[in-house]
């Protein structure tokens, strides 16, 4: 047996010399291991002389930011915390709390899913549904199979969600009761379900073929009130002119067809660049240093980022986007004042 294993071994990998970037990243990582309490850019410029020694400190800060992003992509997440003096940040290598893997039986997974979806059906919250998705590795195929039985949890837990999952698995057409703004304005749609799409950790959509309008549409999952499984075969064909494309999976609100495409430019602060790029996930953009350029057909879809991280950007274009932001903040202020007055 030992000889057979030896025969299967590949030849030794020929080592090659590291390029300057790889050498810098490895040295940076080892320094974070040496100093678990964190490092500032000032201290890094001292202990990594030759790597971060540009006369312009901001240039070194940008280089460090790119290096930290690269280490994060390799599985070494590094967070930064502002100092009291406000002039420097402490960068700390974070420990992954999920290093230890939890293992569940199929029965346990089924029960966890049922409880999460039951809570979701009683009090619709993104967190409950996304928690269920995360447990199953963000992949529909990881949801446990639910078998019909007297104790089937469908009646108790997330009726609509379970019916959609079954329709996807069985390739059955459905009739859904759906609303865009207010539940009392809900209407019925007949559709062929294609797939569930997840955006970030918050939004879930059902990509489906609208049988009446003969086109593919995305339905926000929590806004589907009722699902009825229909008899017959799907009208949607996975191949041909109506086949699914990569564009069908884009669910970024900034790409919803509200107006003609407008060029947007964000000049980001160093600490806000990563946040901006994460927010734009799924939306094609061009990056040059700290500037991001992209096209949007729904400027209002960018507001959640601008509300949450107003200090992430140094400037933004076009003027119309600034106007939309100012008007939205004014409306929020007026609404707050009216509530406070009561």
Indicate if the pLDDT at residue 27 is higher than 80: yes
Structure tokens at 272: 């806000």
Percentage helix, strand, coil for the chain under 3-state DSSP, each rounded to 5: 45, 20, 35
pLDDT for the residue 156: 35
pLDDT at 279: 83
**pLDDT, mean over the chain:** 77
Poorest-pLDDT segment among 127-141, 169-183, 233-247: 127-141
CA 298, distance to chain mean position in Å, is 19
CATH assignment, 158-243: 2.30.30
- Name the phi and psi angles at 100, rounded to 5: -80, 130
Q: Tokens in use for 262?
A: 């407008």
pLDDT at 292 over 90: yes
Which of 17-31, 247-261, 320-334 has the least mean pLDDT? 247-261
Is the pLDDT at 145 greater than 50, yes or no? no
Alpha-carbon gap, residue 69 to 18, rounded angstroms: 19
The three-point CA angle 271-77-93 to 5° equals: 90
pTM > 0.85: no
The CB density around residue 187, as the number of other CB atoms within 10 Å, is: 9
pLDDT at 281 over 60: yes
Q: Would you place residue 291 in the very low, low, confident or very high pLDDT band (cuts 50, 70, 90)? A: very high
* pLDDT reported for residue 152: 40
Lowest mean pLDDT among 97-101, 114-118, 235-239: 97-101
Highest mean pLDDT among 83-97, 125-139, 228-242, 322-336: 322-336
Q: What is the pLDDT of residue 267?
A: 93
Band (pLDDT 50/70/90 cuts) for residue 293 is: very high
Mind giving me the DSSP string for 115-150? HHHHHHHHS--HHHHHHHHHHTTT-GGGSPP----T
Predicted confidence band of residue 149 (pLDDT cuts 50, 70, 90):
very low
Residues 200-223: what's their mean pLDDT? 78
């Amino acid at each position: 047996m030992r000889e057979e294993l030896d025969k299967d071994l590949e030849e030794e990998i020929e080592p090659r010399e590291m390029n300057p970037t790889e050498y810098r990243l490895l040295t940076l990582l080892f320094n974070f291991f040496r100093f678990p309490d964190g490092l500032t850019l000032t201290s890094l410029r001292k202990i990594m002389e030759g790597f971060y020694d540009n006369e312009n400190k901001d240039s070194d800060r940008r280089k460090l930011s790119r290096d930290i992003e690269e280490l994060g992509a390799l599985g070494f997440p590094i967070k930064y915390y502002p100092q009291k003096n406000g002039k420097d940040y402490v960068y700390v290598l974070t420990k992954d709390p999920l290093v230890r893997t939890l293992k569940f039986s199929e029965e346990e997974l089924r029960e966890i899913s049922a409880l999460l979806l039951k809570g979701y059906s009683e009090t619709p919250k993104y967190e409950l549904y996304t928690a269920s998705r995360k447990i199953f590795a963000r992949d529909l195929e990881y949801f446990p199979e639910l078998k019909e039985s007297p104790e089937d949890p469908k009646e108790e837990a997330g009726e609509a969600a379970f019916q959609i999952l079954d329709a996807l698995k069985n390739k059955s057409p459905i009739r859904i009761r759906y609303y865009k703004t207010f539940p009392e304005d809900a209407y019925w749609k007949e559709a062929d379900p294609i797939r569930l799409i997840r955006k970030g950790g918050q939004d879930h959509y059902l990509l489906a073929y609208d049988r009446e309008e003969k086109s593919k549409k995305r339905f926000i999952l929590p806004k589907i009130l009722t699902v009825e499984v229909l008899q017959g075969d799907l009208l949607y064909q996975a191949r041909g002119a109506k086949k699914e494309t990569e564009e069908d999976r884009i669910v970024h609100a900034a790409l919803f067809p509200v107006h003609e495409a407008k060029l947007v430019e964000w000049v980001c602060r160093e600490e806000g660049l990563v946040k901006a790029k994460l927010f734009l996930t799924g939306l094609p953009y061009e990056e040059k240093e700290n500037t991001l350029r992209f096209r949007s057909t729904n400027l209002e879809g960018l507001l959640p980022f601008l509300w949450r991280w107003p200090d992430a950007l140094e400037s933004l274009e076009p003027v119309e986007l600034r106007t939309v932001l100012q008007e939205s903040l004014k409306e929020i202020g007026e609404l707050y004042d009216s509530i406070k007055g009561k």
